[in-house]
Amino acid sequence: MTQKWALVTGAGKRLGLETARALARRGYTIIAHVNGSRAGAEALKHELAADALALHVVASDLSTEPGQDALVAATKALAPALDALVHNAGIFERAPFETIDRAAYARMQAINAEAPFFVTQGLLPLLRASHSPCIVHITDIAAERPIAAYAHYTVSKAALLMLTRALAVELAPHIRVNAVAPGTVLFPEDFDAETRARFLARIPLRREGSASDVASAVAYLVADAPFVTGQVIAVDGGRSIAL
């Protein structure tokens, strides 16, 4: 059987880590990109090795052009073809509109939107070398329904959402491009009990999502959805359809 390769960005913790684990369990050799969370990816590497599953860790800072180029180069050095490319790395920062300066705005767009754009561009030869390539962007339900005090974040995720649709059109018929839009999945660590309760009250399923809820949706798009492209799956407990 031909070896299948998947690159997951931000794979050292939380949603990215669980997505890397889910794709490895489906038989993909994983390239786990990290920035600071190397320990999480190394632990997963050891866990998978016990079952003879392979994971390679590559580190780069996706806020810079050299960092984005380094991830492309490291991936090319490892894999002859890329079957799945999951753009999960992202930053999420609360900041009232009037406080967002140019540096903060540029950094948000660089990590959340430009890195997926240019890393995919750099990896096109590898994607084209795959029999059935698929790209998945991790967006956010807030890409279409903004929340106050996250203007630069929601702009970046709206760009990523449109990149999903633009590339689904332009890279068809060979490459499929879809998105998973989480709602509240694993609260940010600094959310207090009162904030958590406020969020949960607005979710029809009355719970936060788990990392595996997102990972399962990604794995479906990658491995089980050959006629699906340009789509967004909200993994949000119904939050985006409730008033």
Ligand X SMILES: NC(=O)c1ccc[n+]([C@@H]2O[C@H](COP(=O)([O-])OP(=O)(O)OC[C@H]3O[C@@H](n4cnc5c(N)ncnc54)[C@H](OP(=O)(O)O)[C@@H]3O)[C@@H](O)[C@H]2O)c1
Residue 194 structure tokens: 């009162």
**Rounded distance between C-alpha atoms, residue 171 and residue 177, angstroms:** 8
Tell me, yes or no, if 153 is annotated catalytic: yes
Intra-chain end-to-end CA distance of the chain, in Å:
49
Q: Which residues bind ligand X (CB under 6 A)?
A: 10, 12-16, 34-37, 61-63, 88-92, 111, 138, 140, 182, 184-186
Nearest distance in Å: CB 173, ligand X: 28
In this chain, which residue has its C-beta nearest to ligand X? 90
Q: Which of 28, 150, 153, 220 is catalytic?
A: 153
Task: Compute and round to an integer the Cα radius of gyration of the chain.
Answer: 17
Nearest distance in Å: CB 205, ligand X: 14
Element spanning 241, H or E: none
**Rounded distance between C-alpha atoms, residue 22 and residue 149, angstroms:** 33
Angle, CA of 175, 3 and 12, to the nearest 5°: 80
Inter-residue contact 188 to 92 (CB < 8 Å): yes
**Rounded distance between C-alpha atoms, residue 136 and residue 50, angstroms:** 28
Active site residues: 153
